[in-house]
A and B are shown apart, each in its own frame.
Chain A
Amino acid sequence: MATVITGAASPERLEEAWHETPGLGSFLTTVDHKRIGKRYLYTGLLFLVIGGIESLVMRIQLTHSNLHVVDPETYNQLFSMHGVTMMFLFATPVLSGFGNYLVPLMIGARDMAFPRLNALGYWVFLAAGLFLYSSFVVHRLPDAGWFNYTPLSDSVYTPGPNIDFYALGLIFVGISTTAGSINFIVTILKMRAPGMSLDRMPIFVWGELAMALTVVFALPALTLANVMLELERRAGFHFFAPAGGGQPLLWQHLFWIFGHPEVYLVVLPALGIASAIIPTFCRRPMIGYTYIVLAEMAIAVIGFGVWVHHMFAVGLPTIGLGFISLTSFLVVIPSGVQIFAWLATMWAGKPVLRTPMLFVIGFIILFVIGGLSGPMLAAVPLDQQVTDSYFVVAHFHYVLVGGAMFPIFAGIYFWAPKMTGRLLHEGWGKVSFWLMFVGFNALFFPMHILGLRGQPRRTYTYQAGQGWDFLNLVETIGAFVLALGILVTFVNWVWSAKRGEPAGHDPWRGESLEWATTSPPAEYNFENIPTVRSREPMWDQPELGPHGQPPEAGGRGLGGGHNTLGTSLLEAEPEVVVPMPHESPWPLLLTVALAAVFVGLLIREWVFWAVAAVATAISVAGWFWPRGETQET
Chain B
Amino acid sequence: MVSTGRVGCRRRPAGSLTVAGAVGVALAAGGCTGDSSVVSPKGPAASSVAGLWWPMLVAATAVFAFVTGMLLLAAARGRRRTEEQAKGAAAWGEPFIVFAGVVVSGIILVGFFVFSLGRMQALADAGHKTKLTVGVVGHDWWWEVRYPNGAVSANEIHIPAGVKVELALTTDDVIHSFWVPRLGPKTDMIPGQRNRLWLEASQPGTYRGQCAEFCGLQHANMLIRVVADTPADFDAWMAREAEPAAASDAAGQRVFETQTCAGCHTVRGAEAKGTIGPDLTHFGRRDTLGAGVRPRTPENLARWITDPQSLKPGTTMPPTTLAPADLNALVAYLDGLR
A354 to B4, CA, bound (A): 10
Q: Kindly supply a per-residue 1/0 record for chain B positions 102-132, scoring 1 wherever the CB is within 8 Å of any chain A CB and 0 otherwise.
A: 1001100110110111011101100000000
Do A437 and B15 form a contact, CB below 8 Å, given A385-B38, A389-B212, A467-B30?
A: yes
Given contact pairs A332-B109, A365-B68, A449 touches B52 in the complex (Cβ within 8 A)? no
**Contact between B188 and A314, CB atoms less than 8 A apart:** yes
Q: Is A581 an interface residue (CB 8 A)?
A: no
Binds B, one of A95-103, A127-135, A452-460: A452-460
Do A353 and B8 have beta carbons less than 8 Å apart? Answer: yes
Q: Is A340 an interface residue (CB 8 A)?
A: yes
Q: List A contacts of B78 (CB < 8 A).
A: 282, 346, 349-353
Which stretch (A39-47, A71-79, A221-229, A569-577) binds chain B?
A71-79
Q: Mark A451-476, 1 if CB is under 8 A from B, else 0.
A: 11111111111110111101100100
Residues of B within 8 A of A594 (CB): none
In the complex, the answer to whether A314 meets B190 with C-beta atoms within 8 Å is yes
Contacts of B210 in A (CB 8 A): 454, 456
B185 touches A384 (CB 8 A): yes
Q: In which size bucket is the chain A interface?
A: 35 or more
Assess whether B86 is in contact with A365, with CB atoms less than 8 Å apart.
Answer: no
A182 at the interface (CB under 8 A from B): no
- Which B residues touch A354, using CB under 8 A? 2-3, 8
Q: Closest Cβ of chain B: how far from A66's Cβ, in Å?
A: 10
* Interface: A261 (CB within 8 A): no
Q: How many residues of B contact A (CB 8 A)?
A: 110
Min CB distance A56 to B, Å, is: 19
Q: Do B212 and A388 touch (CB < 8 A)?
A: yes
Given contacts A325-B116, A344-B97, contact A72 B218 (CB under 8 A): yes
Q: Given A315-B190, A387-B186, are A369 and B64 also a contact pair (CB < 8 Å)? A: yes
Q: Which residues of B contact A459 (CB under 8 A)?
A: 219-220
Q: A288-B97, A466-B34 are in contact. Are A347 and B74 (CB under 8 A)?
A: yes
CB proximity to A under 8 Å, residues B227-271:
none
Report B30-59 residues with CB < 8 Å from chain A CB: 30, 32-39, 46, 48-49, 52-53, 56
B100 to chain A: closest CB distance in Å? Answer: 5
B223, A463: Cβ atoms closer than 8 Å = yes
Are B97 and A287 neighbours in the complex by a CB distance under 8 Å?
yes
Partner of A441, one of B11, B22, B92, B115: B22
Contacting residues, chain A, for B37 (C-beta < 8 A): 452-454
B-chain residues with CB within 8 Å of residue A287 when the two chains form the complex: 90, 93-94, 97
Question: Is B60 a contact partner of A445 (Cβ separation < 8 A)?
Answer: no
| Known contacts A361-B15, A388-B213: A291-B191 contact under CB 8 Å | no
Whether B219 and A242, one on each chain, are in contact in the complex, defined by CB atoms closer than 8 angstroms, is no
Assess whether A425 is interfacial by the CB under 8 Å rule: no
Q: Which residues of A contact B119 (CB under 8 A)?
A: 379, 381
Kindly state whether residue A283 has any CB partner on chain B within 8 Å.
Answer: yes
Contact A291 B120 (CB under 8 A): no
B185 A350 Cβ-Cβ under 8 A? no
- For residue B85, CB closer than 8 A to chain A, the reply is yes
> Closest chain B residue to A358 by CB distance?
B9
Q: Give the distance in Å from the alpha carbon of A545 to the alpha carbon of B329 in the complex.
A: 91
Interface 1/0 per residue, A139-157 and B, CB below 8 Å: 0000011000101100001
Provide the bound-state CA to CA distance between A352 and B179, in Å.
49
Known: A145-B214, A375-B112. A248 touches B191 (CB 8 A): yes
> CB within 8 A of B113: which of A157, A325, A463?
A325
The minimal Cβ–Cβ distance linking B293 to chain A, given in whole angstroms, is 8
**Is A488 among interface residues, defined by CB-CB distance under 8 A?**
no
Assembled-state Cα–Cα distance A372/B109 (Å): 10
- Chain B residues with CB under 8 A of A281: 2
Q: Report the separation of the CA atoms of residues A72 and B310 in the bound assembly, to the nearest whole angstrom.
A: 12
13 contacts between A and B (CB under 8 A): A291-B94, A326-B113, A344-B96, A350-B4, A362-B15, A365-B71, A378-B116, A380-B120, A382-B56, A452-B37, A452-B53, A453-B36, A454-B37
Q: A313-B185, A336-B100 are in contact. List 16 more A-B contacts (CB 8 A).
A: A152-B174, A241-B191, A248-B175, A283-B83, A283-B86, A285-B87, A321-B120, A322-B117, A329-B113, A361-B15, A379-B52, A381-B119, A389-B212, A454-B210, A467-B33, A474-B26
Interface residues of A (CB under 8 A from B): 71-73, 76, 144-145, 149, 151-152, 157, 241-242, 247-249, 280-285, 287-288, 291, 313-315, 318, 321-322, 325-326, 329-330, 332-333, 336-341, 343-354, 358, 361-362, 364-365, 368-369, 372-373, 375-376, 378-382, 384-389, 426, 430, 437-438, 441-442, 445-446, 449, 451-463, 465-468, 470-471, 474, 507-509
